[in-house]
Structure formats: C-alpha cells, structure tokens
Structure 1
Amino acid sequence: APGSWSPQVPAGPRAHWAAGLFSNIWFWRGVAGLLAVATVLILCIQFAVNSSSEKDFAGCPSLELCPADWLYFQRKCYYLSESEASWNSSQNFCSLHNASLLVIENHQELNFTVKITKQDPWIGLYKRNEEFFWINGNALDNKLLEVKGSGNCAYLESKGVSASGCSLTRKWQHPVLLN
C-alpha cells in the first residue's frame, strides 16, 4: 500500500549469516561483560587474601591513595629516601611527615620491603635493655624476624634484618598508614 513501508528481510544464506552475526554480537558482549566483572572480583579477592587481616579489606584499593613517588601495599604508602641520615635523623624526618620508620607487621610486608629496597635502609626497630622494640613501642616478635648484628638500630638487608650503630648514615624508608 502506498505510504506504508515495511522492511524486507532478504532470504537465503546471507540473511542467515547476518542474523547469526547479530545474535553473536550480543552473546560476545555479554561474555565480555561477565569476564570484566569476574576480573574485578578476582582482583578484589586477591587483595582481600593478601591483606594482613579481614578488617583491612574495605574494597579494592584506589590507585591514587599514595602521593607521587610513593608505593602502596597492604593499606600503607611507602616512601623510599634517596638521601642518607642517621637512625634518629631519619626517624625525625618521618615524624615531620606524620609517619615513622618502617614497622614490619607480617611476612608479606617483610618480603615486599626486601624486594623494593636497594641499599640497606633504616627501619623502625631499635634495641633497649638488650631487647628489640619497634618505634610504636611493640616488642619484636622473634617469629617474624631475627636481627643479626650487635648494634642498637636495625636496618633491612636482602637477607633479613641486621643492627648497627645508630649514628651510621643509611638511606631510610617510612610508611604512612591509611585510615
């Protein structure tokens, strides 16, 4: 009839191929969407498993949690200095930035910091009355690590933690805890 137009669906093998392609596009879009969601969930689960405790996991971490030139790991931002200073001067610098020398809380953090450090930096561990304490006041858990050396201030090295004189100059690192 004049004025009424209806689309003509072509018949034949090309029509079947085009119809199949169209339905396949929606199928593959659905598959791609499911894969994207699964990838995000896997990353979130991996982050949750790698967190030091369940209370640390509050969703996937943002990539912008740390300032430029800082590293993020287990809800902490880590700053690695390029300058060298004594243990006390290093801790004072960290304090000025609302941080402290590194306090290692678990084996994952120990492994992470050993991998990212280059030249035996100071950490927040010191000897008092023949026992080692972290800068936050907690006593060293000997199950976590053993300190080699006879000094009073600890530093991280490729094979663990050692202690030397506090007045020696070393690079240092400090983490900032995220709330």
Structure 2
Amino acid sequence: MRRSRGDAVIGGGSPPASPGCLPGLCSNIWFWRCTTGILAVVSVLILCIHLAVNCSSRKSSSGSPPPESCPADWLYHQRKCYCFSEKVKDWNSSQSFCASHNSSLIVIESQQELKFIMKITKQDPWIGLRKTGEEFHWVNGTPLDTNLLTVKGSGECAYIESDVVSSSGCSLPRGWVCKIGS
C-alpha cells in the first residue's frame, strides 16, 4: 500500500510527478537545486575576486588620488575628486576658488564623466571651458573636442544647463565644479 505525506512516498515506488514536470526530470529535483546553489556560490566568489583585483589595481595606479586624499566635503569618483559649490560666483572667481584648492574648474574628459556631472549637478555650474577668440578652450589649454560636446549659446564662458552645455557672459554668478586628477 502506498501512502504519501507531502512529496515523500511511503511504501516504495517513484515520487509522483509534479504538475508541469517531464517524467524523470523532477525526480532529481534535489540534484538541480544543489547544482544551482553551487553555481550561485561560485558566481559570487568570482565576482568578489574580480572586484578585489580591480579595486587593488585602481589604488596602485599612478596619478590618481585615493579617496582619503580628497579634501573634506569633496566627492571621490572614478579616481578623481570633485567639489560642487553651494555658493555662486562669476567664472573668474570660481576658477580662483578652485586654484586656491589645488584644482581647476572641471575639464571634462569623456562622455562618461559628462553624464556623471550632468546627473549630479544643480544650479547650472561653471565648468573650465572658455572662449579664446572664436574657439572654446579648457582651462588646461586644450581646445574643445566637439565630438565630446558642443556648446550652445554665444557667451564666452561655459556651464552645464540640465542636459546640455551652454555659454553665457562670464560675469554672471553661478555655482561651479572643481576637479582634482586627470
């Protein structure tokens, strides 16, 4: 006589097939659960090893400040330190503030950095881009790469406005973004 209690079968025979299971496939359910569990643990271990290797290689690369070397109240991101001002100043005063903290108005080097700054900024801050003659140059002297970004407006100093880079007169008061690291 066969009596069942839950999934266990008393009195021999095969366990009943679960609804929706192919015969023979579900009879090894514990095997599949164990296999899935082992694969999950191995995946987590691989991820941890990958993160540990990447973090240690970032700390040892030259020219990039570790997070503890960023000034107080500055944000550490992607091996660089950023200061997002809460005050407003004209473009020259903003650059002077950055210089007094051994930095400069931000020079945006990649689309990734541009997206990061656009996502985190408020109050349309100055960036380190200013017109020299008819062309924009970064504060480090590098000409603007128009494949990286374009500047809207006819002003001489650039700032981030929502999801675009715009320009205006340099004497307008705005917040600013300083950056340490290249």
Asked whether the two chains share a fold, i.e. TM above 0.5, the reply is yes
Match of residue 73 from structure 1: 77
Question: Are 1:156 and 2:155 matched, yes or no?
Answer: no
TM superposition shift of 1:112:
0.5
- TM-superposed deviation, 1:32: 6.9
Q: 1:96 to 1:63 in 2, by over 3 A?
A: closer
Q: TM-score, normalised by structure 2?
A: 0.67
Distance in 2 separating the partners of 1:46 and 1:148: 38
Partner in structure 1 of residue 142 of structure 2:
138
Q: Which structure 2 residues correspond to residues 37-48 of structure 1 after superposition, within 5 A? A: 38-42=47-51, 45=54
What residue identity is the alignment partner of 1:38? L
- Go from structure 1 to structure 2 and tell me whether the alpha carbon gap of 1:113 and 1:33 turns closer, same or farther (over 3 Å shift): same
**2:130 equivalent to 1:121:** no
In 2 relative to 1, CA 146–47 (structure 1 residues): closer, same or farther, beyond 3 Å? farther
Q: Look up the match of 1:111.
A: 115
* Residue 43 to residue 119, structure 1, CA distance change in 2 (3 Å): farther
Q: Which residue of 2 aligns with 1:86?
A: 90
Gaps of 5+ in 1: 1-30
Give the letter for the 1:163 counterpart. S
Tell me: CA distance 1:66–1:131, structure 2 relative to 1, closer, same or farther (3 Å). Answer: same
Q: Measure the CA separation in 2 of the matches of 1:159 and 1:100.
A: 22
Q: Which runs of 5+ in 2 are unaligned?
A: 1-39
How far has the Cα of 1:89 moved from its partner? 0.4
Whether the 8 Å CA contact 1:101–1:175 is kept in 2: the answer is yes
1:131 and 1:120, CA in 2 relative to 1: closer, same or farther beyond 3 A?
A: same
Number of positions where the alignment pairs a residue of Structure 1 with one of Structure 2: 142
